Amino acid sequence: MSKRLVIAGGGHAHMLTLAHLEDFVAKGFEVTVIGPDSHHYYSGMGPGMLGGTYRPEEIRFATQQLVENKGGLFIQAKVTGIQPLERAVRLSSGEEVPYDVLSCNLGSQVPADLIKGPLEDIFLVKPIERLFKARQRILELGAKQRIRIAVVGGGPSAVEIAGNIWRLGQEPGMQEPAITVFAGRSLMPHHSPGVRQRAVASLAARSIKVISNTRVQQIHQRQLFDSEGITHKFDIIFVAVGVQPNRLIGESGIPTGPQGGMLVNRYLQSIKHTRIFGGGDCIDFQDRPLDKVGVYAVRQNPILRHNLMAALTGERMQAFAPGGKYLLIFNLGDGTGILSKWSMVLGGRLAFFIKDWIDRRFMRTFQAFE
Ligand X SMILES: Cc1cc2nc3c(=O)[nH]c(=O)nc-3n(C[C@H](O)[C@H](O)[C@H](O)COP(=O)(O)OP(=O)(O)OC[C@H]3O[C@@H](n4cnc5c(N)ncnc54)[C@H](O)[C@@H]3O)c2cc1C
**Contacting residues toward ligand X, per CB under 6 A:** 8-13, 34-37, 40, 43-44, 46-47, 78-79, 105-108, 125-126, 157, 160, 246, 248, 280-282, 292-295, 297
Least distance to ligand X, CB of residue 219, Å? 17
- 179 forms beta bridges with 149
CB of 228 to ligand X, least distance (A): 28
Query: Cα separation of 72 and 29, whole Å?
Result: 9
| Least distance from ligand X to the Cβ atom of residue 158, Å | 9
Nearer to ligand X, 47 or 177 (CB): 47
At residue 365, the 3 state secondary structure works out as helix
Q: 23 or 37, CB closer to ligand X? A: 37
Q: Which is nearer to ligand X, 147 or 297 (CB)?
A: 297
Q: What contacts 24+ positions apart, CB below 8 Å, involve 156-160?
A: 156/188, 156/191, 156/328, 156/330, 157/47, 157/125, 157/240, 158/183, 158/187, 158/238, 158/240, 159/187, 159/188, 159/199, 159/202, 159/203, 159/330, 159/332, 160/47, 160/330, 160/331, 160/332, 160/333
* Closest separation in Å from C-beta 156 to ligand X: 7
Give dist(CA 53, CA 242) in Å, integer. Answer: 23
Minimum separation from the CB atom of position 225 to ligand X (A) = 24
C-beta of 273 vs 292, nearer to ligand X: 292
Q: How many CB atoms lie within 10 A of CB 264?
A: 25
What is the number of the residue whose Cβ is closest to ligand X? 280
User: In whole angstroms, how large is the CA radius of gyration of the chain?
Assistant: 21
CB 333 within 8 A of CB 348: no
Query: CA 222, CA 137: separation in Å to the nearest integer?
Result: 13
- Pick between residue 35 and residue 142 the one whose CB is nearest to ligand X: 35
248 or 254, CB closer to ligand X? 248
Q: How far is the CB of 131 from ligand X (least distance, A)?
A: 7
